[in-house]
């Protein structure tokens, strides 16, 4: 599970291959920007992981749950050793 950063702090966090950053249905507490590696977004359906997107360097993901206030629509896995910038909801919402 992803580390939840301090309320006003952007953190750089390393995730090893196979780590789960967040799960489908979780409450969105942060958005992520991929610094290196690769992240896969998967929808869980009937016990299967259905790939919906692959994130590459410089791409933001996980922000939808912050903008619409709903639960996470997908699960994010590190498909390579990855480093991400974790941007708390308070900072993201202040920018919107």
Q: Tens digits of per-residue pLDDT, 53-96?
A: 999 999 999 998 887 778 999 999 999 999 999 998 888 665 54
Q: Which of 42, 38, 2 is nearest to 20 (CA)?
A: 2
Binning the chain into helix, strand and coil, the percentages to the nearest 5 are: 10, 45, 40
At residue 20, the pLDDT reads 97
Number of CB atoms found within 10 A of residue 15's CB: 21
At residue 95, the pLDDT reads 53
Binned at pLDDT 50, 70 and 90, residue 2 comes out as: low
At residue 9, the pLDDT reads 86
pTM: 0.82
Q: Per-residue pLDDT averaged across 20-28, rounded?
A: 94
């Amino acid at each position: 599970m992803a580390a939840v950063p301090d309320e006003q702090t952007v953190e750089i966090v390393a995730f090893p291959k196979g780590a789960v950053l967040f799960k489908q249905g979780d409450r969105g507490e942060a958005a992520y920007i991929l610094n290196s590696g690769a992240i896969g977004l998967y929808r869980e359906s009937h016990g299967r992981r259905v790939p919906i997107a692959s994130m590459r360097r410089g791409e933001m993901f996980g922000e939808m749950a912050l903008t619409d206030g709903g639960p996470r629509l997908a699960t994010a896995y590190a498909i390579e050793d990855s480093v991400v910038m974790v941007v708390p909801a308070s900072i993201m919402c202040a920018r919107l």
